[in-house]
Structure 1
Amino acid sequence: MSEVDVLFATLRQAADPQTVECIESVVMRGSDRDLNRINALAFADKHHLDQEKTIAALLHAARIGLFEMTWNVLCPGCGGVLDSGTTLKGVDQESYHCALCAAGYEPTLDEMVEVTFTVSPRVRRIAAHEPDLLPPMEYYRQIFFSSGVDLPEDFESRFGSSVLEMIELDPGERAFVSLQLPAQFVIIFDAVTHSAQFIDVTGEPTAERQNLSMVISPGHASNETLTLRPGPLRLTLENHTDRRVVPNVCVAGDELHDILGRRRAFLTAKRLLTNQSFRDIYRTDTLDVDQRLKITSLTFLFTDLRGSTALYERVGDLAAFDLVRAHFRVLHEIVAAEAGAVVKTIGDAVMATFPSPDRAVAAALRMREAMLRLNAERGSEDLLLKIGIHEGPCLAVSLNDRQDYFGQTVNIASRVQGLADPNVILTTEAIVADSHVSAILHDRSINSVSRMEELHGIAREVKIFALS
């Protein structure tokens, strides 16, 4: 067997066989584009695979060396990749600036950091492994734009219709470009260094040649918008970097905006951090101790067993331990099945995260049903589960050598669980207000009864909903 055969045999033991078979087929017979910066969600949809199984398979594939996983910081405006690294630890700037959009952004893990997978060169070499050798249009397609931009198949011709000029410049090279400026807003932009120059072409047309020079350097910042007249321009471009650059002169019109506006779902850092397979594989290598990364919306679910101390007294340590362990196993399975992840267990309590409120509510309902079944099988009421759910902003942090979360949202979720009666799911208004949650409650004929509660450490009263 070849090394690649051995790697895929290993992957089949760790991940869903159907998904692995599809990944292997693409590795063997897919195009180079298909294997660069794979969008896990788009890949699953294209091949009619389960998204969670696809994410898990790609994570295991990255672990054994079939693929390389990258974390890309994105511009929410144009969808360009502002920075890229092999771990989340590389997202270490307080803000990121996009020269093309002339805007700065504080990074959040919800929509500004994507996770993609590229085939390892030891498995198959593709053109994107040497990005500086890619044709300019392919560089924009495969390297500059994120996997969340749904580029059309005819990207080259559509983007090309907006481009007045595109050239390649080797390190230290200078080029002179002559072109006709239309009476529109024009941008000179290099996708390698993210250098940009805006030109507002307005006024009376001129037959007199205008001159403009632009130096492309690693630290190039956006210049003030220049005003030129429609007519001939002699543009001088100089590459002061140690890499090839690919500047273009384009019209910022409807065609360009349409291309940039085409978006699709992608694997966000938030979703990956709430994935059980990811937490199992990358336990201690996610965040640096000093990192504090914002998540604008994450759903927390807390559970606890009521009367677990009395349970140990009533049935004995060994029987109680086995029962509690069985309860943990069931909860872990349910959390993973609903695209969530167990962050930690504290005594007999569980703290889990989910990418959306509906997933957490679906998990909570399944947990309640599972505990009722376990109790029925034993002919007892030993497993009395208390559940609380809340959603909101938080910080992703590293605590006690594990990836954890911090903030008022976490505190409220924990306090809500503390108020719950056995087999009653308590949520906040943020949860039941979610349209997908409303649909779940309606479909299952579940009633929600609200009340106001004071939570320890929370200044205001909080509206609590009991789902029964």
Structure 2
Amino acid sequence: MAEAQMLLGFALRRSGDEDGARDELTAAKGAFERLGAALAAERAAELLGEHKLSRTFVFTDIVDSTKLVEALGEEKWKKLLGWHDRTLGELISDRGGEVIKQTGDGYFAAFQTPGAALEAAVAIQRALDAHEPLAPDVRIGLHTGGAFHRADDDYAGQGVHVAARIGALAGGCEILASRESLGDGAARFPVSEPRRTELKGVADAIELVSIEWR
């Protein structure tokens, strides 16, 4: 019964009936708690926005992809993009990351720890650098912050917005990270001097550093 209520909550949220979705998810949460199904109850709480999660979010994006298509032609671009997608997906997954979705010519991923996210970002840039005869320039942004699960296994919240803004500021072949992202794996990689930057839609300025991956 509780699982059916959870699924109905998903369906109602997708259809735009947020009030109905919250009613079903609240009922599911209560039922799971009575059954002692702690993980399922926590999942329902996340969907209700009651529990915020902390994750390190990563956004990647190919720089000047339109120019690359024009220079390479459709067939070569299709082959290169296929290699890019396979490589990035594998490197993210191999380091414990969760590929949330592809965003145009890039990826949105979430990691449990900053160290794993940094390891993946560095591995991505090194794989691109080593690829012959050509690889696209990719920018990568990282930020550790709070968010919550949505019904479609996407994430939403301030942490996601900040990570996306940082990714948009990164240059080609750059890994740009917030100071909050310098966790357990940061000591392995040199970083630039921090710079305070104002991000659109974010009240406070944030300190950003560039990760030296070469």
Question: If the length of structure 1 is used for normalisation, what is the TM-score?
Answer: 0.37
Q: Deviations over 1:182-214 (max 9, x none)?
A: xxxxxxxxxxxxxxxxxxxxxxxxxxxxxxxxx
1:453 CA displacement: 1.0
1:437 CA displacement: 2.3
Q: Which residue of structure 1 lines up, in the alignment, with residue 175 of structure 2?
A: 425
Aligned 1:184-263 pairs, distance under 5 A: none
Q: Which residue of structure 2 lines up, in the alignment, with residue 388 of structure 1?
A: 141
- 1:407 equivalent in alignment to 2:160: no
Q: Secondary structure of the residue that 1:448 maps to in structure 2? A: coil
Q: Partners in 1 of 2:129 and 2:5 — Cα distance?
A: 40
Q: Secondary structure of the residue that 1:427 maps to in structure 2? A: strand
1:293 CA displacement: 5.6
- 1:467 equivalent in alignment to 2:207: no
Q: Secondary structure of the residue that 2:96 maps to in structure 1? A: coil
Q: Which residue of structure 2 lines up, in the alignment, with residue 173 of structure 1?
A: none
Q: Which residue of structure 2 lines up, in the alignment, with residue 318 of structure 1?
A: 75
Q: Which residue of structure 1 lines up, in the alignment, with residue 54 of structure 2?
A: 297
Question: If the length of structure 2 is used for normalisation, what is the TM-score?
Answer: 0.77
- RMSD of aligned alpha carbons: 2.8
Q: Partners in 2 of 1:297 and 1:450 — Cα distance?
A: 22
Q: Which residue of structure 2 lines up, in the alignment, with residue 353 of structure 1?
A: 110
Are the counterparts in 2 of residues 341 and 354 from structure 1 also a CA contact under 8 Å?
A: yes
1:460 CA displacement: 1.7
Are the counterparts in 1 of residues 199 and 206 from structure 2 also a CA contact under 8 Å?
A: yes
| Long gaps (5+) in structure 1 | 1-84, 97-111, 116-268, 270-285
Q: Which residue of structure 2 lines up, in the alignment, with residue 167 of structure 1?
A: none
| Long gaps (5+) in structure 2 | 8-23, 31-36
In percent, how many aligned pairs have the same letter? Answer: 28
Q: Partners in 2 of 1:383 and 1:114 — Cα distance?
A: 41
Determine which of 440, 444, 447 is the counterpart of 2:188. Answer: 440
Are the counterparts in 2 of residues 431 and 437 from structure 1 also a CA contact under 8 Å?
A: no
Bigger radius of gyration, 1 or 2? 1
Number of aligned positions between the proteins: 186
1:296 CA displacement: 2.9
Q: Secondary structure of the residue that 1:330 maps to in structure 2? A: helix
Q: Partners in 2 of 1:404 and 1:338 — Cα distance?
A: 19
Q: Partners in 2 of 1:429 and 1:88 — Cα distance?
A: 41
Give 1 or 2: higher helix fraction.
2
Q: Deviations over 1:352-374 (max 9, x none)?
A: 01111111000001001011011
Are the counterparts in 2 of residues 343 and 353 from structure 1 also a CA contact under 8 Å?
A: yes
Alignment-mate amino acid for residue 450 of structure 1:
P
Q: 1:447 to 1:318 in 2, by over 3 A?
A: same
